Amino acid sequence: MTQSSESQNAFLLHELQAHSAMFAQLQSIFPQVIAVANELRATMKRGGKILIMGNGGSAADSQHIAAEIVGRYKKERRGLPAIALTTDTSIISSIGNDYGYDYIFARQIEALCRPEDTVIGITTSGNSKNVVNAMIEANAIGATTIGLTGGTGGKLQELCKFNLIMPSSDTPRIQEAHIFIGHSLCDMLEAD
pLDDT at 4: 85
- Which of 116, 122, 177 lies closest to 149 in space, CA to CA? 122
pLDDT at 5: 87
Q: pTM of the prediction?
A: 0.95
Name the band, by pLDDT with cuts 50, 70 and 90, for residue 127.
very high
- 11 by Cβ neighbours in 10 Å (0-12 / 13-18 / 19+) ranks as exposed
Residue 1 has pLDDT above 60, yes or no: no
Q: What is the pLDDT of residues 135-144, one digit of tens each?
A: 999 999 999 9
- Sketch the domain layout of the chain as residue ranges: 29-190
Average pLDDT over residues 106-124: 98
**CATH of range 29-190; options 3.40.50.2300, 3.40.50.970, 2.40.50.180, 3.40.50.10490:** 3.40.50.10490
